[in-house]
Structure 1
């Protein structure tokens, strides 16, 4: 059973922890110097033409796709990208939902030694423009739903050649996905990539200004092999089938889910849904035999609530990974009883994903704790005034050694920001935490102002800048406020240019502005209008006063 945070472990449980440490440490190994994502996640399985890679549920009927088919399609797309001038080290935007096209696009980019820049289908025009401009991308592969947001920004439209997927008609200034694949050769020699070759730029939440691009090498996928194996109870096992609602544009969805499943030879489900509907999800997982999943705690809570009235069969899951916020004992115990397994809470961030986590089949789980360091990552609690490691019980900053296998190479084009993030050999997370007497890590709070809502890490600056584009707004301050369901939700405090400008529809206008320009998960749930927002003498927002 799940150990509640205040329960003292038995001697037998502590012995299991020590045995787990020995198992975990034995799994640690260096990444092979010639490691390449396309070979590890596709080609080594493609020799068996029947080996399944994806169950595609995005079309009219379920369809299985093999690794061999992905190998051929990604070589064709790689040839086409090469023909468009994409070379080693060039950046390629990938803006696709869960789909065969998304998997194909990523493999193609990695084959060329180019760098994938994922963007989400929920990103608004401003968010897209920043990522395209900052990365210097040459080509973009996007879903048709994204095109209107790109077409309206001339400089973004001109910067890249755009390949559009799922377009119902020919779009001006674009290339059609089907035509590109139909005319390209599937003979493509792999580029000479290594474990340290840059592979992807994943943008952060933007807590201090615009989001920064975290540059990761090919090794990041191999660095997740042992952690994901532990989080999923000995992943892979016969009959495993993976699905997660996590968007493949984020580190969690792309690396922890899609590429890690494929690297283990496990098929993944592509299932499209703009919103998480618990009844639909339970039906889908049960009907198609999903065995492994990553679900944020918010999603688990929604499943728990819906299961009381849901009439269909519950999925019989073998493993659940969770993260992004603390998971309660009630949710863990419900999952064990009703879904058949204890969720393993993990911890990481864009710069270093999956560095802490649990393995409930090997050691007791404490509700709300992300467990211990995973193989390949050395995590500690560091004093705020220097690189001194703190003893158990003391609160400090959670940090991981910068030479850990899962750690990023640095921020794209921002050596100054990299130097602030990596200090004295430690990648400092900005999160405050502690270790207890049994060695479990505990998250306390953010050192900065990031908002953690339903598994999303949301920076206030981008939202504030967006709201301040409204002609009625003088200044905006965004904070997170507690929410029982989501952990936190976004609250916007707004100072108007003139109180007379406050109209009955203004709150809705501001919410729609954020939804259109940024993303739905960044929309303020609460908008408060005030006469004056507290600021320092230098004009800096005093968010700490707004939280009181």
Structure 2
């Protein structure tokens, strides 16, 4: 394939569907076929701008990533890591993450990106289940790996990144790197194509995390993510706000962006996210395209946006959870920019998107990505007509879309449960309007059935979030002897507001005026924070479980 993927310039969604296709090179390997090729053709071509937590900015070109990944591939092979071996990466947004990923791709080992917030128990469970042989870990999380080691008999290769004090059996990344040969010979039987590339752990919003297996062709699925949803052009400076422990990092700051010819901007902040600081980074570093979860936009619009020079910013996207209409309009009024929504899962690349050549409809995730035959199905596996809610299902009877996972690693029963009768079943609810736009409603398990009505939590959350007292909210159903389920809102209040019966009535009345009255929350609980996964997603299942425990007492 060429260094850059040639971008179509469709004038409409229908034209895009008609003309889009992905050419799949034989035995495709992103590290060899994109990064090394780019380094050979234009070695000084900019690849990354990296800002650390202290504000230090470093710039890296493709020659650096080619040489650095060759060096680290040599380090890993000398340590005994080979094709098919599993290596867990527990790193922040360090440049070493990208070097490690590319090195693993080159030798055919399987990367397992992991969040830095994992406990020793989490690490032990994941290492044991995945049969992990090696760990490349941030110095600050080494103690948690050590806490897991007595339960991980197969863990043999331990490499620490950063810090000065090394524990026994650990090797220092910089020392190994400095002593390695800077050329790694591509093997004749180089890994690629349908070989396993990476395993991600799912967010675990509805239960224990599952191991999602993707192959070497998976990065090609993100051509659509970067070139068309992010709308990238060569030379763009793109920032996706994502932790390297999750699939969203490779969605937004790796594969597709480099195939588009864009420069990846990495903001390696540590600790709590600070909206004002992020706005400074966007302004001072002249970021041109930006992607972040809706929660981030909600915090950004609470700042005085007029105090920042966002003139370089030309395109904005969001995914992860749904964008509230009020946030869309407030951001557009302040910046002149629309926010284009997208939808996908750890198990997939982008499935549904709002593109630049489509009119955004606030609250809609857009239309299906080319190559993804998406149906909204009822419980009897019949297609739902426009306006009727159902499960998002992918037709895989005749072909599998580029970017769809192979299955859940070592869990064939769970794989069979979601891939059956010719469909991949996402577990997510949505409906399609008369114009073909998809409207996401939430997880199937999150749907509330009250007095014969089917209520999606997002509808109520969207209404609540427009009240100035609400910073965050999660809507769930609780058992009710008359209605079956009653709508409950768990809310985090903005500064200056305190829980009271009067505020509860005010919020309930606000929802009745904003959406259909029957959807209003009959119960409102005030909390300091919502339970979330370590990827930041709200754990509605945990809220429901806690409510059940309270009712049993």
TM-score interval (norm. to shorter): 0.7 to 0.9
Q: Check whether the contact 1:95–1:119 (CA below 8 A) recurs between aligned residues.
A: yes
4+ runs of 1 displaced by more than 6 Å? Answer: 450-454, 517-531
1:449 Cα deviation after fit: 5.1
TM-score of the superposition, structure 2-length normalised?
0.77
- 3-state SS of 1:187 partner: coil
- Structure 2, unaligned stretches of length 5 or more? 1-8, 448-456, 466-471, 477-486, 495-526
Cα distance in 2 for partners of 1:385, 1:221 equals: 34
Cα distance in 2 for partners of 1:128, 1:406 equals: 27
1:348 Cα deviation after fit: 0.9
Query: 1:109: which partner in 2?
Result: 104
Q: 1:236 to 1:195 in 2, by over 3 A?
A: farther
Query: 2:394: which partner in 1?
Result: 400
Query: 1:200: which partner in 2?
Result: 198
Q: Check whether the contact 2:71–2:181 (CA below 8 A) recurs between aligned residues.
A: yes
Q: 1:154 to 1:522 in 2, by over 3 A?
A: farther
1:480 Cα deviation after fit: 9.3
- Give 1:55's match in structure 2, choosing from 43, 49, 64: 49
- Give 1:45's match in structure 2, choosing from 24, 38, 51: 38
Query: 2:65: which partner in 1?
Result: 70
Q: Check whether the contact 2:86–2:112 (CA below 8 A) recurs between aligned residues.
A: yes
1:17 Cα deviation after fit: 11
For these two proteins, the number of residue pairs brought into alignment is 471
- Give 2:378's match in structure 1, choosing from 380, 383, 393: 383
Q: 1:136 to 1:36 in 2, by over 3 A?
A: same
Cα distance in 2 for partners of 1:532, 1:106 equals: 43
1:285 aligns with 2:282: yes
Q: Check whether the contact 1:122–1:520 (CA below 8 A) recurs between aligned residues.
A: no
Query: 1:166: which partner in 2?
Result: 162
Query: 1:493: which partner in 2?
Result: none
1:485 Cα deviation after fit: 8.9
- Root-mean-square deviation (CA, aligned residues, Å) is 3.5
1:306 Cα deviation after fit: 0.8
1:67 Cα deviation after fit: 0.9
- Structure 1, unaligned stretches of length 5 or more? 1-15, 461-478, 487-507, 536-545
- In the TM superposition, 1:10-409 aligns within 5 A as 19-47=12-40, 48-58=42-52, 61-155=56-150, 159-191=155-187, 192-206=190-204, 209-233=207-231, 235-237=232-234, 239-273=235-269, 274-307=271-304, 311-314=307-310, 316-359=312-355, 361-386=356-381, 388-402=382-396, 403-409=400-406
Cα distance in 1 for partners of 2:318, 2:548 equals: 41
Q: 1:383 to 1:33 in 2, by over 3 A?
A: farther
- In the TM superposition, 1:379-528 aligns within 5 A as 379-386=374-381, 388-402=382-396, 403-448=400-445, 481-483=489-491
Query: 1:502: which partner in 2?
Result: none
Cα distance in 2 for partners of 1:485, 1:335 equals: 21
Cα distance in 2 for partners of 1:336, 1:51 equals: 33
- 3-state SS of 2:299 partner: helix
Q: Check whether the contact 1:399–1:428 (CA below 8 A) recurs between aligned residues.
A: yes
Q: 1:227 to 1:485 in 2, by over 3 A?
A: farther
Q: 1:532 to 1:445 in 2, by over 3 A?
A: closer
Q: Check whether the contact 1:92–1:139 (CA below 8 A) recurs between aligned residues.
A: yes
Q: Check whether the contact 1:344–1:357 (CA below 8 A) recurs between aligned residues.
A: yes
Cα distance in 1 for partners of 2:184, 2:489 equals: 51
Q: Check whether the contact 2:196–2:213 (CA below 8 A) recurs between aligned residues.
A: yes
Q: Check whether the contact 1:150–1:157 (CA below 8 A) recurs between aligned residues.
A: no
Cα distance in 2 for partners of 1:342, 1:484 equals: 27
Q: Check whether the contact 1:377–1:406 (CA below 8 A) recurs between aligned residues.
A: no
